[in-house]
């Protein structure tokens, strides 16, 4: 399918429809502010607390919405996905609420807290290598007649993820900038669509995606105008962003609507996580700290602007996060 065809199937109205379905199902998560950051950077920051979403991440939105769109027979047969954690938990809970058995092809290096969460919500976990998770998922889907709902390259998943930004814009209209982490691109693509939904009286906010330097496939793709694939799964503390490439649907959306993609160092992610945990008392996962890391590293000019940041999730390995924070505060 051509990018133009993919773009025609995704537009702001798809996010508005998803919001109707998710109303009273997904939590309307709170917005947090930081006077310290406002004073330091001469801006106004608004953090959307998706780490307090059901399952502890924005991923519940897209997972539930995608399952809700299946017909009764498809739900009864079950669904399968391939995920390193948060999408797996969102699928597992969504399936439990909607009567759809869920199977997950899960990399063996998934954080234990995310593995336990998905299993706790009732998902069947099939262990695999990170580089093989999609192939394993597709094979099992054919063997069992399951419907595949991937983590990000899916119209309904994208629409569901966009509802987080839609709520942020409804609560804080007229933002100048809207920042999200970038892994496979579901949250970023949905955010781009939500930004065009006409919330507020001013022009739509500029949307910027942020990813780790060692996982820069999104930045390379955006700046080259084509999807660039990394040869190996990137090793970053932001485990929710360990993708080798962005989805085709996601790229079709954000390549046309995005302002920029910037990358940040592992050290900056640690510093951002330390600020969120120690100063703002927000127990997010490292992936959620990536946009703030871009601010701390001076990658984005925010002075005089109203800046929205989506804190994508809070499901982290506490020991790994503690070590990261300890290194950051010791510098």
Strand partners of residue 313: 57
How many CB atoms neighbour CB 132 within 10 A?
13
* Rounded CA separation 314/293 (Å): 16
* Rounded CA separation 33/318 (Å): 24
* Rounded CA separation 256/297 (Å): 26
Contact 89, 56 (CB under 8 A): yes
Task: Give the three-state DSSP class for 124.
Answer: strand
* Rounded CA separation 304/3 (Å): 36
* Rounded CA separation 36/19 (Å): 33
Q: Give percent helix, percent strand, percent coil of the chain, each to the nearest 5.
A: 50, 15, 35
Query: Is 59 labeled as catalytic in the residue annotation?
Result: yes
Q: Exactly one of 34, 44, 48, 59 is catalytic; which is it?
A: 59
* Rounded CA separation 78/141 (Å): 9
Query: In a 10 Å sphere around its CB, with 0-12 CB exposed, 13-18 middle and 19+ buried, how is residue 296 labelled?
Result: buried
Query: In a 10 Å sphere around its CB, with 0-12 CB exposed, 13-18 middle and 19+ buried, how is residue 35 labelled?
Result: exposed
Contact 81, 186 (CB under 8 A): no
- For the record, the structure tokens of 134 come out as 């999609």
Strand partners of residue 80: 103, 148
Query: Is 312 labeled as catalytic in the residue annotation?
Result: yes
- For the record, the structure tokens of 125 come out as 């976990």
So which residues are the catalytic ones? 59, 312
């Amino acid at each position: 399918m051509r990018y133009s065809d993919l773009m025609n199937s995704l537009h702001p109205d798809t996010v508005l429809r998803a919001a109707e379905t998710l109303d009273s199902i997904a939590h309307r998560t709170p917005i947090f502010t930081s006077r310290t950051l406002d004073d330091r950077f001469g801006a106004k920051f608004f953090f959307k607390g998706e780490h307090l979403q059901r399952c502890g991440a924005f991923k519940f939105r897209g997972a539930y919405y995608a399952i809700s769109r299946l017909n009764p027979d498809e739900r009864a047969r079950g669904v399968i996905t391939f995920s390193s954690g948060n999408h797996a938990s969102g699928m597992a809970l969504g399936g439990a609420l909607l009567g759809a058995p869920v199977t997950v092809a899960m990399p063996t290096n998934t954080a234990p807290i995310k593995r336990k969460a998905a299993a706790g919500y009732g998902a069947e976990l099939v262990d695999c290598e990170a580089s093989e998770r999609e192939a394993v998922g597709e094979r099992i889907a054919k063997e069992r007649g399951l419907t595949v709902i991937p983590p990000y390259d899916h119209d309904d998943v994208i629409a569901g993820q966009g509802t987080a930004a839609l709520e942020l814009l409804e609560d804080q209209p007229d933002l100048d900038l809207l920042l999200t982490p970038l892994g496979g691109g579901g949250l970023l693509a949905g955010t781009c669509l939500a930004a065009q939904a006409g919330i507020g009286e001013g022009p739509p906010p500029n949307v910027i995606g942020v990813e780790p330097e060692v996982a820069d496939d999104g930045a390379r793709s955006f700046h080259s105008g084509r999807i660039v694939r990394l040869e190996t799964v990137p090793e970053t503390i932001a485990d929710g962003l360990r993708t080798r490439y962005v989805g085709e649907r996601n790229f079709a959306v954000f390549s046309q609507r995005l302002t920029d993609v910037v990358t940040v160092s592992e050290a900056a992610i640690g510093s951002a996580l330390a600020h969120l945990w120690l100063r703002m008392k927000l127990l997010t996962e490292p992936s959620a700290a990536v946009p703030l890391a871009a601010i701390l590293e001076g990658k984005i000019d925010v002075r005089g602007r109203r800046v929205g940041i989506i804190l994508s999730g809070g499901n982290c390995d506490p020991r790994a996060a503690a070590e990261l924070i300890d290194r950051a505060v010791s510098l």
